[in-house]
Amino acid sequence: MRRHDADFGSAYRREETVASVGGKHALFNALQVLVDHGDEVILPVPYWVSFKDIVRYAGGDCVLLETDEAQNFRVTPAMIERLITPRTKVIILNSPSNPSGAVMSPEDLTEVVKLASQRGIWVLSDECYVYLNYTDRNFSVGALREYHDRMGILGSLSKTYAMTGWRLGYALGPAAVISAMQKLQSQSTSNPTSIVQKAAVAALSGPQQCVTEMRAEYIRLRDYVVHGLRAIPGVQCTLPEGAFYAFPNLSSFFGRGGIRAASELVGRRLREAYVATVPGEGFGSGNHIRVSYATTVEELDRGLERMRKFLAAL
């Protein structure tokens, strides 16, 4: 909460904050608390795999917002507005996005928050990658203090401090929602362990230079992998503006070598070329695959070369 305030001017108070066992846990609890049976939740595509299932578990219906690859998977307020119905309860935002790396501008984020607030709709902003925004226009909707009453922010230490296995996430939101999330949490998992809480305090209150350095390194790796992917004939790839994934379109290979879908391509490439990527179907985008570049240039080189050979032989 103090870190978030220092970085984004969000001024959340203690009773508006809860620490959970990872960002996914915070998201899960927030959606269970906010979504009732029959409620609609607007979800931009491509989406991080867990959003859809967690909404369904809460009894909600996902209303998918299709984006345009030619526009870098951009999500605009107008696109969201078109999908609003009397049943809309929540709009999920995830900027920078997993898997596409798309980043919403501060203006677009502000507009979405405003239009949601005018209609009594909640905005849940998943900020897991907020410190891995490469646009130099980093922003959190938490800065829009006058709209806090209809907004939940979900964060994680997994990416910012490379602490995935430690399991520490958080939610920021109105005290009533946070209190309900705390009740749910106290009757299920309880809190993150005290040991991890201490580690989180060290990460959040210590020097933040490591985050700046890691971000700079990810930009270098992003440029490297996108350049390498674009050099493979038949591969199209947008330039991700955040997170640490490339999301190339491999649909030009469908129909070659008996391959009909991204999942088949990814499966065969894993078995035959030993390159692990994630098929786009789970993200709602069957023409794509997700390539993580959270590794070294040497590893990326090996992977790209194997990928190139595998695709050329199809």
Q: Report CA Rg, the chain.
A: 20
Distance CA 164, CA 246 (A): 20
Shorter beta-carbon distance to ligand PLP: residue 60 or 169? 169
Does the footprint of ligand PLP cover residue 128 (CB under 6 A)? yes
Question: Which segments within 77-144 are labelled E, that is strand?
Answer: 88-93, 122-126
Shorter beta-carbon distance to ligand PLP: residue 192 or 310? 192
Does the footprint of ligand PLP cover residue 179 (CB under 6 A)? no
Residues 110 and 76 sit within 8 Å (Cβ to Cβ): no
Distance CA 299, CA 275 (A): 10
Q: How many residues does the chain have?
A: 314
Q: 239: phi > 0 → left, psi -120 to 50 → alpha, else beta; which?
A: beta
> Binding ligand PLP by CB under 6 A: which of 10, 95, 133, 158?
158
Site string for ligand PLP, 76-95 (x = CB under 6 A): ------------------x-
Residues 152 and 30 sit within 8 Å (Cβ to Cβ): yes
Q: Which of residues 261-300 bind ligand PLP (CB under 6 A)?
A: none
Shorter beta-carbon distance to ligand PLP: residue 117 or 158? 158
Binding segment for ligand PLP (CB under 6 A), chosen from 17-25, 33-41, 204-212, 233-241, is: 17-25
106 preceded by a cis bond (ω within 30 of 0): no
Q: What are phi and psi of 232, to 5 degrees?
A: -85, 120
> Binding ligand PLP by CB under 6 A: which of 8, 12, 28, 48?
48
Binding segment for ligand PLP (CB under 6 A), chosen from 21-29, 130-138, 195-203, 299-307, is: 21-29
Binding segment for ligand PLP (CB under 6 A), chosen from 22-30, 63-71, 210-218, 262-270, is: 22-30
> Binding ligand PLP by CB under 6 A: which of 46, 169, 248, 284?
169
Residues 20 and 42 sit within 8 Å (Cβ to Cβ): no
Distance CA 56, CA 191 (A): 25
Does the footprint of ligand PLP cover residue 164 (CB under 6 A)? yes
Shorter beta-carbon distance to ligand PLP: residue 27 or 79? 27
Q: 290: phi > 0 → left, psi -120 to 50 → alpha, else beta; which?
A: beta
Does the footprint of ligand PLP cover residue 3 (CB under 6 A)? no
**Mind spelling out the 3-state secondary structure of 248-261?**
CECHHHCCCCCCCC
**Rounded to the nearest whole angstrom, what is the least distance from the CB of residue 43 to ligand PLP in the complex?**
12
| Side-chain half-sphere exposure of 50, counting CA atoms within 13 A | 12
Query: Cα 186 vs. chain centroid, distance in angstroms?
Result: 26
Does the footprint of ligand PLP cover residue 24 (CB under 6 A)? yes
Binding segment for ligand PLP (CB under 6 A), chosen from 18-26, 63-71, 142-150, 170-178, is: 18-26
Binding segment for ligand PLP (CB under 6 A), chosen from 19-27, 63-71, 138-146, 281-289, is: 19-27
Shorter beta-carbon distance to ligand PLP: residue 243 or 259? 243
**Rounded to the nearest whole angstrom, what is the least distance from the CB of residue 25 to ligand PLP in the complex?**
6
Distance CA 27, CA 18 (A): 11
Binding site for ligand PLP (CB under 6 A): 22-24, 48, 94, 98, 126, 128, 156, 158, 164, 169
